[in-house]
């Protein structure tokens, strides 16, 4: 099971959307405080729709608490400061993919300790970053693809409707 980690998220709608993506993919969501909202906020529930109740979510009081409660976790960090693209990593089935808060990303003092595990999504020059929910979906789905979408429905079907003119 893959894990998405949000370090100090600020916008409830982004967290709600990411929560919904986690439910749809069977991934866990980890929220590291302080949060820029309360977990019972209406906008958070709206973005996560009726899926929020099905979400496997854990909160931590700070980054150190997260590390202490997840010893040995393979952690990748999404940042515009990374040298490697997110497609250049081999994601383990139980890895953790961390994203920083919307206004500042992951603090550089954390990134420098994990330089080899930092990944970026390519963008044209002059663009600061993608939306947090979009970034999480892009990298999560690459990790899922690499793990052959294990446990997921990978094919749909169309139902032909017969009608008379």
Average pLDDT value for the chain = 92
CB 99 within 8 A of CB 4: yes
pLDDT value of position 126 = 85
Instruction: Check whether 11 is labelled as a binding-site residue.
Output: no
Q: Please give the backbone phi and psi of residue 70, each rounded to the nearest 5 degrees, phi first.
A: -130, 60
C-alpha 107/C-alpha 111 separation (Å) is: 7
Q: What is the separation, in whole angstroms, between the first and last Cα of the chain?
A: 50
Per residue in 153-162, pLDDT (tens digit) is: 999 988 776 6
Rounded to two decimals, what is the model's pTM? 0.92
CB 96 within 8 A of CB 75: yes
Least confident of 9-23, 29-43, 62-76, 98-112: 29-43
pLDDT exceeds 70 at position 49: no
Instruction: Check whether 100 is labelled as a binding-site residue.
Output: yes
Q: How many CA atoms lie within 13 A of 67 on its CB side?
A: 6
pLDDT exceeds 60 at position 48: no
Residue 63 or 40, more confident: 63
Confidence of residue 57 (pLDDT cuts 50, 70, 90): very high
Instruction: Check whether 121 is labelled as a binding-site residue.
Output: yes
Distance of CA 126 to the CA centre of its chain: 24
Strand order in the sheet with 3-7: 57-60, 28-32, 3-7, 96-99, 75-78, 118-120, 84-85
What domains appear along the chain, each with residue ranges and CATH number? Answer: 3-146 (3.40.1280.10)
pLDDT exceeds 80 at position 46: no
H/E stretch holding 5: strand 3-7
């Amino acid at each position: 099971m893959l894990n998405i980690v949000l370090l100090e998220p600020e916008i409830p709608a982004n967290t709600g959307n990411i929560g919904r993506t986690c439910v749809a993919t069977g991934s866990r969501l980890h929220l590291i405080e302080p949060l820029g909202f309360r977990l019972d906020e209406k906008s958070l529930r709206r973005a996560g729709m009726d899926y929020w109740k099905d979400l496997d979510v854990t909160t931590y009081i700070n980054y150190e608490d997260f590390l202490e409660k997840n010893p040995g976790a393979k952690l990748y960090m999404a940042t515009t400061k990374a040298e490697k693209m997110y497609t250049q990593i081999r994601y383990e089935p139980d890895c953790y993919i961390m994203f920083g808060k919307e206004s500042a990303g992951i603090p550089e003092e954390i990134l420098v300790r994990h330089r080899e595990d930092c990944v970026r999504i390519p963008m044209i020059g002059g663009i600061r970053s993608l939306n947090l929910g979009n970034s999480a979906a892009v990298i999560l789905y690459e990790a899922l693809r690499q793990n052959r979408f294990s446990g997921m429905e990978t094919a749909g079907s169309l139902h032909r409707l017969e009608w008379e003119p």
